[in-house]
Structure 1
Amino acid sequence: MKLAYFVLPHVGGTYSVFKHLRAGLAVYGIDVRWFGTCRHGYELPAAMREEGLLGLLLEMPASLTEGACAKRMAEVIESEGFDGVVINVLGDRLQTNIARYLPEHILRILVVHSITPGTYAAARSIRDFAHATIGVSERCRTDLVERHGFPADRTYAIPNAVDTAAFREQEGRRVRAGPELRTLFVGRIEDTSKGVLWLREILDGLPETVSLTVVGDGPDMPKLKRRLAGHADRVRYTGTMPLALIPLAMAEHDVLIMPSRFEGFGLTLIEAMAGGCVPVVSHIRGVTDTIVENGKNGMLFPVGDYTVAANAVTRLHQDRDLLERMSFSARAIVPERYSIERMADRYYDVISSAMIGWPKLSPVLDIDSWSIPPGLRPGLRTYIPLPIKNWLRVVRERL
């Protein structure tokens, strides 16, 4: 069996999921290939060019309409012999909407990575054209079933995985923390979802012997650097880090700070735990609280409550025995719950169930009449000022 996984190679969570799924499903004889679309002239980042051997880059001339691009994409899926597709909802509008137009014999699996209203609206617009839907957390699945009409028997919660072997190789590098506590932020430097601008308030509440390493890049990096200028002597920026170096970064730090406003899952969270880096993270119902057992393998704080976050980090700084116990507990649960093998087993069960049962879906649409459903168009939420949006997200999670 051959599956197209819609994604372009990049340093980020979605592509990591592809790599892990490809490795895990190969055991079952399923060949998973990345499938990406781009405009003519696009080149893979230099660091990712070797990944080209694992997938297919479909260039689209700038002169083509979106409908013409969709038609070409569907033709290539057929000609390349793909039996099914894995669609990351809202990863790309073209690739999301193609679910409504692919031939009936092509297996269509949706993956929902986020808990935002926009993501759910997009998923709802193609719901009736999918053989199975996977939410990356129990929160995703519950919301889809209870609020958006997804069939309970074809909607699943499958957490993402980490390469536990890569983290085991770094265990010897972890040393008992000295006078300094080494904290870490890893992710896209973007405040709306990741809450990165709260890092200043968290550092304001921490002893001077607590340092921070910021790994990643994004649109809010200049703003973050300005806000952290007062702590310049204890903040280090590495920029985007190759995936292969993430296990080492986790092993070299004591505490991960993750002040997100919302997350569908939080791959960085389980990467930190796999490396023994104790997580201090926002309490996002049905997401982080299904991974972190507060006070045992990490600490949770209310979204946006930087005082509680700082107090949690300070407690770990002051009580190194507690830090060690939490580090051990964090490392212990990851191989059991979040291994590549476990994730692949569950995906295989979903694929097998869909292939055997082959649920009846809405009739596929005529690709020559390509259109964009409302859920994939900008909605009223687009016009809500960002500060109000952010405030509403905090209120929603705290309630």
Structure 2
Amino acid sequence: MNVLVCIPCLMTGGTEIQTLNLVEALITAGHEVTTVCYFEHSTNMVERYKQTGSNVCLLSPEGKRPVGITNTVLLLYKGLHRVLREVKPDVVHVQYMAPGAIPIIILRLLGIKRIVATAHTAADIYPSLRLLHFVSRHILTAFQCITERAEKSFFGNSQMYKAEMKLTRHGNHFTIYNNLPPYISIANKEQRIGKVVTIGVVSRLEPIKGMDLVVPAFSKIHAMNPNTHLLVVGDGSLRPLMEQQKNNAELNEVVKFAGVQPQEALQTYYDSIDVLLMPSRSEGFGLTAIEGMARGCVVVAANTGGLPEVVSDGKVGLLHEPESSDSLAEKAIRLVDDRELLMTMKQNAIDYVARFSFAHYSELINNLYSKL
């Protein structure tokens, strides 16, 4: 089939990486794929899509977002109309992010009948679900969520997609989990813990990721367990605050900021982390969690968004109370104090993460496309 994949941005983020996995899965199965980006884009990410085998169309070559709803609609209508004439897709797969349902409605007005949408968040970011429910019932062939918890937030019920599932003309919704990106492999089972336990984060250093809670929590962890270090991989607006927190707590010798690292280097950093902190305030899925688990990190994550579904509490990681650095510290201290528990969870995490393999994801996606 000829597939058009629509996405607002092609920057370096979890949604773009997962969409790249979608593109690769479809191309591997023999489909022709064109990716259209509406707004912001980076040269590196555009090249990665092209290297996978996708054509890439940029509606805004300069990578700027129009000002105002009228200009946005005009850009999308004219741009998608042009792309549809050139590509003539059999199916359009829309990444359902800002600007919401506008591209889906435009595609339907332009005559596209087979439209699949993927939601990369839960419903809590949308002020009203009326439009989404209308679009799902009357326009979309299928609406894919990335966790069952997110699907329930949209529709009140959920189901994992299975090969034997039958599709109706409209209104199908289900969950297909995200998968490990190609730059992370699943580690062998011989995990070790050194004398010093490394606590780590791999994240944008932003409020939505809860990064302001990390250093205060680590201060409590280190006070109870001096043989602990903190490794911070990433950058963002909260880095000055986190460095100030480190200085105020006199933790300069045991806290390291590694800055932004290329994705191909992340596996090495995960390998040096024993306990991975994810105190996010909002998280649609938690790609970092499965990346870390694949390398034997034990994840301590906020009980929010898709994280409770991805991080099995008490088996491969621990969930903490959202917004609480005390709860975050308490869970991490439990792991640091109990080396046997930490080792067991390391081993469990590696076994558990196989369910998020690219092969499994590709099989489900292409089974879905065989029904379209």
TM-score by length of 1: 0.76
Structure 2 counterpart of 1:263: 283
Q: Deviations over 1:86-123 (max 9, x none)?
A: 22222x42x74111021333522121111253347474
**In the comparison of the two structures, how many residue pairs are matched?**
342
Q: Which residue of 2 aligns with 1:204?
A: 219
> Cα distance, 1:254 vs. partner?
0.7
Conserved in 1, the CA contact under 8 Å of 2:320 and 2:327?
A: yes
Distance in 2, Cα, partners of 1:34 & 1:238: 33
Deviations 1:256-301 (A, max 9, x none): 101112211111111111111111111237x323232322211111
Q: 2:268 aligns with which of 236, 248, 258?
A: 248
Secondary structure, counterpart of 1:350 in structure 2? helix
Give the partner amino acid of 1:87.
V
Residue 228 of structure 1 pairs with residue 225 of structure 2: no
Conserved in 1, the CA contact under 8 Å of 2:221 and 2:333?
yes
SS at match of 2:156: helix
1:68-147 mapped onto 2 (5 Å cutoff) = 68-75=74-81, 76-90=83-97, 92-93=98-99, 96-102=101-107, 103-119=110-126, 121=128, 123-124=132-133, 126-127=135-136, 128-146=138-156
Q: Give the direction of change, closer, same or farther, for the CA distance of 1:6–1:283 in structure 2 (3 Å limit).
A: same
Per the TM alignment, residue 338 of structure 1 is displaced from its structure 2 partner at its CA by: 0.6
With over 3 angstroms needed to count, the CA separation of the structure-2 counterparts of 1:166 and 1:188, relative to structure 1, is: closer
In 2, the alpha carbon distance for the partners of 1:352 and 1:183 equals: 44
Structure 1: 5+ residue runs without aligned partners? 356-399
TM-aligned CA distance change 1:318 to 1:117, over 3 Å: closer
- Alignment equivalent of 1:284, drawn from 275, 295, 304: 304
> Corresponding residue for 2:73?
67
The answer as to whether partners of 2:145 and 2:174 remain within 8 angstroms in 1 is yes
Across the aligned residues of Structure 1 and Structure 2, the Cα RMSD in angstroms comes to: 3.0
The AA in structure 1 aligned to 2:253 is: D
Correspondence 1:149-188 to 2 at 5 A: 154-163=172-181, 166-168=184-186, 171=188, 176-188=192-204
Report the AA paired with residue 184 of structure 1: G
**CA distance, structure 1, for counterparts of residue 298 and residue 322 of structure 2:** 18
2:257 & 2:288 partners in 1: Cα distance? Answer: 17
Query: Which position in structure 1 is the counterpart of 2:362?
Result: 344
Name which structure has the greater RCO, CA cutoff 8 Å, separation 6+: 1
Q: Is the 8 A contact 1:136 1:265 kept in 2?
A: yes
Maintained 8 Å contact 2:246/2:252: yes
**Structure 2 spans left out of the alignment, 5+ residues:** 158-167
CA distance in 2, matches of 1:263, 1:294: 16
How far has the Cα of 1:74 moved from its partner? 1.9
Say if 2:191 and 2:343, in contact at 8 Å, map to a contact too.
no
Structure 1 residue aligned with 2:5: 5
Go from structure 1 to structure 2 and tell me whether the alpha carbon gap of 1:14 and 1:22 turns closer, same or farther (over 3 Å shift): same
Residue 141 of structure 1 aligns to which amino acid in structure 2?
E
Contact 1:88 1:112 in 2 (8 A): yes
Partner Cα distance (2:72, 2:360) in 1? 38
Structure 1: how far apart are the matches of 2:202 and 2:227? 20
2:88 aligned partner, one-letter code: G
In 2: Cα distance, 1:270 partner to 1:70 partner = 34
CA positional deviation for 1:50: 4.9
- Structure 1 residues 245 and 60 mapped into 2: Cα distance closer, same or farther (>3 Å)? closer
In terms of fraction of residues, the more helix-rich structure is 1
Task: Give the counterpart of 1:323 among 342, 356, 360.
Answer: 342
TM-score normalized by the length of structure 2: 0.81
Instruction: State whether residues 261 and 282 of structure 1, in contact with CA within 8 Å, keep that contact through their aligned partners in structure 2.
Output: yes
Alpha-carbon distance in structure 1 between the residues aligned to 2:259 and 2:43: 15
Shift of 1:48: 5.7
